[in-house]
Amino acid sequence: MSAKPDGIIIGTGIIGASIAYELCKKGFKTLNIDKQPAAGYGSTGDSCAIIRTNYSTLEGTALAYDSYFDWINWADYLNLKNVKWLSRFREVGFLVIDQRKALTSKVKQNHDELKIPYEIWDWQKIATTLPHFSDRSYYPPKRLDDPEFLRLSDTVLNGDFFFFPRGGYVDDPQLTVRNIQEATELIGGEFIFSSKVIKILQNDSKVTGVMLQDGRIIEAGFIVNAAGPHSFLVNRMAGIEKSSNIKTKALRREVHFLPSPEEFTYDETVCVVSDVDTGIYHRPESGNQILAGSLDPECDERVWIENPDRYNRNNTNEIWKTQVYRLANRIPNLPIPNHVRGIVGLYDVSDDWLPIYDRSDLEGFYLAIGTSGNQFKNGPVAGRIMAQIISACENGIDHDQTPVQSKLQNIDVILNTGSFSRNRDINRESTFSVQG
């Protein structure tokens, strides 16, 4: 480490790296610290890296649309012109199938207000684009032990079919963070890996630095908690775990890889699909595969993890069967292999499943938490917002009393960042789910 940093960021996922990049652009010297061996190695690396603009809240929609322009101009955003390997945003679009017509009404309103393009499809359009799909409705999604689970439906889908062209997925989430790391290092940011923070140092109710497991003490003027699923433990370490109205916890998640049906090729031009009717989202994966995950229907049990360093990292047969068979409802000719292939990881989830971008009750300690599964797409704008909040607070602004009003970079919106406060009321407009 070359010199004492202005700020320490705990975490090197998409959020932590983006905050460092944006702070360095403002002239701060940053140091990211992570217990993992490389950037993007934790929950970010396990992400499905879906990019979408369809959110139930106006603020979430604005963040996603602002970040969209960074994804389509990735090399320009990072000012990396001659890098050999850059992650790629596959702008294939995002299709929502909503039999209830409940979720899409609010989403449509948000898109109209922000002038974000979308298309209303009918089943004929879906059948032309995705001819391997069944037009049967299976709502509501059911548990595997429900006697109705495998019963063929005689109900035809007649809900809302919305296509959002400015959506898709990033092909390599871990490479994405490596790109941000390289851009940050070029302008003075530093990174330390395989190093665990075990203590938040304080003096007179203000942070002064951190102690690492190997005994090293690193001093800094401020600290940012961007520790993903470990965020609640870092807050506990800082003594502020119970001081916020909105709290976070770790949720165990599984996604699974499947071969595509013989009559349809899942190449890089196929759209991402969020099928509320079956409770499954899926997207193309390299090698003519499908990557599928759950939309958290009410019938599914959520597995909360008390120790993010100790949990079952193996795919479970019951969850695999449930998600795969739900997908097979929509894709009747889906080949179902006799072995499980997938990823098991953790999400950092807040009480209302929306992020916290804020200061804390401890002076100099900032929060960028509750982000897993829903904020990968917002990495660039989350970095900008946090850099603005930190800069304002470090210059004497009381963000609790006068929340930072952020002029978004790519769209004509001034965002009240107080909507991401740690002390907000639970936002009932949230879907209380993710599409990771």
Q: Where are the domains of the chain?
A: 7-85+172-248+352-420, 89-170+249-344
Determine the distance from the C-alpha atom of residue 91 to the mean position of all C-alpha atoms in its chain, rounded to a whole number.
Answer: 17
Residue with the two structure tokens 């982000």: 371
Contact 178, 40 (CB under 8 A): yes
CA distances from 346 to 247, 299, 343, 351, 399 (A): 16, 20, 10, 16, 30
Contact 137, 153 (CB under 8 A): yes
Angle at 383 between CA 350 and CA 21, to 5 degrees: 140
Residue with the two structure tokens 């071969």: 259
Q: State the pairing for strand pair 248-259/289-294.
A: antiparallel
Residue with the two structure tokens 């009717």: 277
List of residues 6+ apart from 80 with CB closer than 8 A: 86, 179, 182, 183
Residues of the chain scoring pLDDT < 50: none
CA distances from 416 to 63, 242, 370, 380, 419 (A): 11, 25, 18, 17, 6
- Token duo for residue 50: 């879906």
Angle, helices 58-72 vs 103-114, to 10°: value is: 60
Domain 89-170+249-344 has CATH 3.40.1710.10: no
pLDDT of residue 176: 97
Residue with the two structure tokens 């597995």: 303
pLDDT of residue 174: 96
pLDDT of residue 314: 95
The C-alpha atoms of residue 152 and residue 129 are separated, in whole angstroms, by 23
List of residues 6+ apart from 285 with CB closer than 8 A: 257, 266, 291
Sheet holding 168-170, edge to edge: 50-51, 168-170, 89-90
- Token duo for residue 9: 């960021």
Positions of E strands within 171-309: 190-192, 197-202, 207-212, 217-219, 222-225, 248-259, 272-275, 280-285, 289-294, 303-305
pTM of the entire predicted model: 0.96
Q: State the pairing for strand pair 160-164/94-98.
A: antiparallel
pLDDT of residue 61: 95
The C-alpha atoms of residue 244 and residue 242 are separated, in whole angstroms, by 6
The C-alpha atoms of residue 376 and residue 359 are separated, in whole angstroms, by 21
Radius of gyration (Cα) for the chain, nearest Å?
21
The torsion angles phi and psi of 377, rounded to 5 degrees, stand at -60, -20
Contact 205, 362 (CB under 8 A): yes
Give yes or no for a cis peptide into 403 (omega within 30° of 0): no
pLDDT of residue 432: 64
CA distances from 232 to 350, 369, 416 (A): 10, 9, 25
pLDDT of residue 103: 66
The C-alpha atoms of residue 141 and residue 132 are separated, in whole angstroms, by 20
CATH code for 7-85+172-248+352-420?
Answer: 3.50.50.60
- Residues linked to residue 350 through DSSP beta bridges, in sequence order: 248
